[in-house]
A and B are shown apart, each in its own frame.
Chain A
Amino acid sequence: MAGFVSIRNLRKSYGQFEALKGIDLDVAKGEVVCIIGPSGSGKSTLIRCINRLEPFDPGSEIRVDGTLVTSGRALAKVRAEVGMVFQSFNLFPHLTVRQNVMLAPRRVRGTSRADAAAQADRLLARVGIGNQADKYPEHLSGGQQQRVAIARALAMEPQVMLFDEPTSALDPEMVGEVLDVMRDLARTGVTMIVVTHEMGFAAQVADRVIFMDAGQIVEQGPPAQVLSAPQEPRTRDFLGAVLNH
């Protein structure tokens, strides 16, 4: 059976260079998938294809909840269902924290100002930023900004959340607070696809860990298997390098 997110033969090339070499992947509703791998392995490109921030080669097929990810009207529908959190937060600097969270529901869903504000305050409280709603992003720490970014994505009530190395740009002492929010989120049953270097998070939270290298899925399975008893030499090399640095 095809997954809630279903990816078939996903290819992406930049000129001669093939960033993704025919990925097949199904993610079930409510599943938490962590994608690990060396830089340049294509893992960020993969999740950026799911909401088509990255256009992919013809012949590839991605479906989210049955809807084909193409351009045009269907794409807007998919994007409204798929939340994304970026490495560099990408908050809107000219809007307050609350306005950041309110913007998409107001514009895309047509939510009233009062409802959007109430929802924003609820979400901000949930990620522990409740008392900073009127500040501008530049006055927040990196960890706080990333939690706002998570709240902003959640405001669209997405079926799927994509995380593109959400803690890689953070100072070490702030990684924990963001991972805590993500851990809570995973418990609520949101489907999550997380590109990360946080092996501890993957081990604890993921239902499945995927190891990618050179544009292909090399190995996947439950975290205990992939992280503790990897079958493939490339996975072993990578984990050895990451864990013993």
Chain B
Amino acid sequence: MDIFDTFLNAEVMRRTFPLLLRGLWITLQLGAASIVAGLVLGLGLAMARLYAPAPVRFLTRVYIDVFRSIPLLVLLIIVYYALPFVGVRLSPFASAMTALTLVSGAYTAEIFRAGIEAIPKGQFEASAALGLSGRQTMADVILPQAVRIVIPPLTNNSINVVKDTALASVVAMPDLLKQATQAQALAANPTPLIVAAAIYVAFLWPLVALVSRMERRFAARRR
């Protein structure tokens, strides 16, 4: 039995490919939803972390540190298996999205904060001197500049979120990895796993390359 028949079996590939595509679709949905929700949560947390009254600021910092420390898999299992004990029963998709968003939000908050803090004080002063409110200053002056700075780390974080969606397979989410392991069991052949890995790489490699390019360009612009 040669290695191609084992790992890249054409017949198994043909039979299981539709299954994998269905899994990919769910993975992409979960990834996109969690990225967007994480960005919104992260921006809110960053604002609270920087500008809220002291007690809220403190709580925000605790949140950010806790959710950057907790392993995602542990959080996911708590959300899916522990919350039902207090009456909160979430679907696999909702559980996975909740866990991914809570963690991604914490990382995103720190990225936004770094971006905002990188904006020179003079930009805040010029805005204040013109009579812009705090909200207008953020929306029209600070964030447009800060977001530009943090696009590479935000993209990096998004790549991580998409990769971490694979963890959702442990809560019976029929994502790409789950479909692949099921197909493998069905066909008694590991080919679907190899194909699934190739699909992950095919989707994420371009993003990884894009981040490298952006980082090089930003570094060059700074001279």
Q: Which residues of A are at the interface with B, using a C-beta cutoff of 8 A?
A: 51, 53, 76, 79-80, 82-84, 86, 88, 90-94, 103-104, 107-108, 149, 152-153, 156
Contact = CB atoms under 8 A, between A and B. Distances in A.
B131 A90 contact: no
B159 interface: no
Contacts of A83: 129
B209 interface: no
Nearest to B135: A107
Interface centre among B122, B130, B144 (most CB of A within 10 A): B130
28 contacts: A51-B129, A53-B128, A53-B129, A76-B131, A76-B133, A79-B130, A80-B130, A80-B131, A82-B129, A84-B126, A86-B122, A86-B129, A90-B122, A90-B123, A90-B125, A90-B126, A91-B126, A92-B126, A92-B141, A93-B145, A94-B144, A94-B148, A103-B141, A104-B131, A104-B132, A107-B132, A108-B132, A156-B131
Contacts of A156: 130-131
B218 to A, nearest CB: 14
Contacts of A107: 132, 136, 140
* B-side interface mostly: helix
Contacts, number: 56
Contact of B130 (A88, A94, A104): A104
A152 B131 contact: no
The 8 A-B pairs at the shortest CB distance, nearest first, are namely A80-B131, A90-B126, A90-B122, A104-B130, A84-B129, A79-B131, A108-B131, A107-B136
B148 A103 contact: no
A153 B130 contact: yes
Given A88-B122, A90-B123, A103 B144 contact: no
Contacts of B126: 84, 86, 90-92, 149
A92 B120 CA distance: 11
Interface string B114-151: 00000010110110111111001000110011001000
Given A76-B133, A108-B131, 10 more contacts: A53-B129, A76-B131, A80-B131, A82-B129, A83-B129, A86-B122, A90-B125, A92-B145, A104-B130, A153-B130
Contacts of A84: 126, 129
A199 B99 CA distance: 65
Interface residues of B, number: 17
Nearest to B137: A107
Contacts of B132: 103-104, 107-108
B97 to A, nearest CB: 33
A80 B140 CA distance: 17
A84 B127 CA distance: 10
Contact of B128 (A79, A91, A93): A79
B139 to A, nearest CB: 9
Contacts of B125: 53, 86, 90
B128 A92 contact: no
Contacts of A94: 144-145, 148
Interface centre among B123, B125, B136, B148 (most CB of A within 10 A): B125
B213 to A, nearest CB: 21
A3 to B, nearest CB: 21
Nearest to B148: A94
A107 B147 CA distance: 21
